[in-house]
Amino acid sequence: MLESLIWSFVHRPYVTLFMLFFLLLAWLEQGWSRTLFWILSSYLIALAAEWGSINHGIPFGEYTYHYEALSHDLVIVGVPFFDTLSFSFLSYVSFSFAQFFLSPLSIQGLNIQRHSTPLVRNSAATLFLGSYLMVVVDLIVDPVASLGKFWFLGDIYHYPNPGVHFGVTFANYCGWFVVAFLTLSINQRFDLWLNQRGQARGENRKAPALGLFAPCFWAGIVLFQLGITYWIAQSPQEGIDHERVTLQAVTGSYILAPILLLAVMQLLKPSNRIEPRQN
């Protein structure tokens, strides 16, 4: 098991790097106790959802892993460990990005800080927006993941009954919203419980431009996957439907553009700033 775990981290470097950045961001924003609980809860929720899907088609719909392509990876109850672990950072960065949209900022040069109160962090608005932003990530990730045989992910799964969104089923996106909603909701409740016990989130931890970490992290994930899609569309490999993959890439760009533009506007909107204190 240990050998398979090490292989997964070494040969899935993008997952490892995203996970390390998640640990840094989550520690800075909320401390270790909340971060460790986030990892455990998100992993167990995602594992249950994936197990339910590959065995019963709930909640992501029916899909099948290709275990011959996962022979070196750590697989737990039929689910690749790296795949389930990715729900930890995908859910958290979407949650944090939602707070970026809903919180005021203080801006002094390139030092941008977000001021998220417990009321904002644990609000229904953050819950629904964060869940939606995680689904948006999957609108980019899953279609290109289904083309894994054309890039370094590998041909690790397929949908027996492909859906209308470049082979991905509508049930899959509904399942992602459910998993995101459960993960964020449980962690909001845990945060409230810790607050009632007097365990603050460590708001005094500050890093230069910390307010930009979440939007840049979220954008980095989706733009990385979108870049892979454009690369496949231009690849000379046999078996690629170049017209279809190009449409997939362009459609993904249209999906992301409004969200990224709104994030930039959040930085430029004067009425949504808190002026830094003068010493």
Helix (H, G, I), strand (E, B) or coil at 78: coil
pLDDT per residue over 37-54, tens digit each? 999 999 999 999 999 999
Maximum separation of any 2 CA atoms in the chain, in Å: 64
- CA dist 102 and 105 (Å) reads 10
- Residue 66 Cα to chain centre, angstroms: 23
Q: How many domains does the chain have?
A: 1
Using alpha carbons, list the distances in angstroms from residue 146 to 117, 234, 252, 276.
39, 17, 15, 47
| Sequence-ordered list of residues with C-beta below 8 angstroms from that of 271, at least 6 positions apart, any chain | none
pLDDT, position 204:
56
- Only one residue has tokens 């409740």, namely 189
Range of the domain at 115: 2-272
Question: Which tokens in the block code for residue 263?
Answer: 């994030």
pLDDT exceeds 90 at position 18: yes
pLDDT per residue over 188-218, tens digit each? 999 999 999 988 776 557 788 999 999 999 9
pTM above 0.85, yes or no: yes
pLDDT per residue over 222-236, tens digit each? 999 999 999 999 999
